[in-house]
Structure 1
Amino acid sequence: MQQQLRNIMTSNVFTVNESQSIQEAAAVMSENNIGALPVVNNNGQMTGIITDRDITLRSTAQGEAAQTPISQVMTAQQVVQGTPDMDVHQAAQLMGQQQIRRLPVVENGQIVGMVALGDLAVDHQYGNEAGQALSSISTPSAPQK
């Protein structure tokens, strides 16, 4: 039986604007116990995503100030996205291939939900897909020189 992402996604998604600071993004993450935020422009269109890892590696480790705009450290190019109608199995496979733990769900350029690897894991029906995705995501990469 095919199930769509709309049935398992979190639809109450916190977002940040690309002009906000990384400190503001980190505060939203901390207050809501989340590790990724879709980044939107003034029209509500998704322009990227920022993760706790982005903040750590692209700002803190580089000596950037807390007031650095999100747009300077977010992932903006080729952000992997799903759609509400996407099959859950396809989404799990995509997450594994792209080595991502969170998949923004977008419809008409607007963020409508978020699916985390944990969403797949808690639904016993998708435990195998979650395990396969995690295995792919957890494959160690070579250190940068």
Structure 2
Amino acid sequence: MEQQLRNLMTSNVFTVNESQTIQEAAAMMSESNIGALPVINNNGQMVGIITDRDITLRSTAQGEAAQTPVSQVMTAQQVVQGTPDMDVRQAAELMSQQQIRRLPVVENGQIIGMVALGDLAVDNQFDGAAGQALSSISTPSAPQK
């Protein structure tokens, strides 16, 4: 029987509201030693995700102010998500295909967990799937000119 994400996910997920500033998001990431925060609206529905890379490339590099709302730099369209009943191998394949290192686990529009590539690698049962996903995720891209 395959393992479900609900058995592997981190359920204590820090989130940020879409109206909070990127400075607040960055401070939360720093304090919690995490690289991504699911973004929620006032109803608690997940509307996007913001990563440390988003903050660097979409705000700092563009000269945006620290008071810029998260909603202006987050990834909002087609945020890749998993479900608690999703098979771990399916999740690893999805992460590999989409070249992502973190997968929000959503149920009824609410964020209930997060699975990182490292979570898959820690469990020896899924080490091969994690390695394959990492290989696909880490495929280098050429610098843009």
Question: For 1:141, what is the secondary structure of its paired residue?
Answer: coil
Q: Percent identity?
A: 88
1:114 corresponding residue in structure 2: 114
Residue aligning to 2:68: 68
Q: Helix, strand or coil: the match of 2:97?
A: helix
Equivalent residue number for residue 104 of structure 2:
104
For residues 60 and 128 of structure 1, the distance between their equivalents in structure 2, rounded to whole angstroms, comes to: 37
Which residue identity is paired with 2:91?
Answer: A
Question: Deviations for 1:101-132, whole angstroms, at most 9, x for unmatched residues?
Answer: 00000000000000000000100100001000
- TM-score, reference length from structure 2: 0.98
Structure 2 unaligned blocks of 5 or more: none
Q: Deviations over 1:19-58 (max 9, x none)?
A: 0000000000000000000000000000000000000010
Q: How do 1:22-37 residues align onto structure 2 when only pairs under 5 Å count?
A: 22-37=22-37
Name 1:19's counterpart in structure 2. 19
1:50 and 2:50 correspond: yes
- Partners in 1 of 2:134 and 2:124 — Cα distance? 15
Computed over aligned residues only, the root mean square deviation of the Cα atoms, in angstroms, reads 0.6
Q: Following superposition, which runs of at least 4 residues in structure 1 exceed 2 angstroms of deviation?
A: 142-145
In the aligned structure 2, how far is the partner of 1:142 from the partner of 1:80? 24
**Whole-Å Cα distance in 1 between the matches of residues 140 and 19 of structure 2?**
33
Report how many residues are paired. Answer: 145
- Deviation of 1:140 after TM superposition, in Å, equals 1.0
Any unmatched runs of 5+ in structure 1?
Answer: none
Q: Residue type of the partner of 2:14?
A: F
Partners of 1:29 and 1:17 in 2: how far apart? 14
Q: Write the letter of the residue equivalent to 1:9.
A: M
Distance 2:12 2:22 in 1: 21
- C-alpha displacement at 1:141, in angstroms? 1.7
Determine whether 1:59 maps to 2:59: yes
AA in 2 matched with 1:13: V
State the SS of the aligned residue for 1:111: strand
> What's the counterpart of residue 85 of structure 1?
85
Counterpart CA distance in 1 for 2:120 and 2:33 is: 18
Q: Distance in 2 between matches of 1:65 and 1:124?
A: 44
SS of residue matched to 1:10: coil
Distance 1:50 1:140 in 2: 22
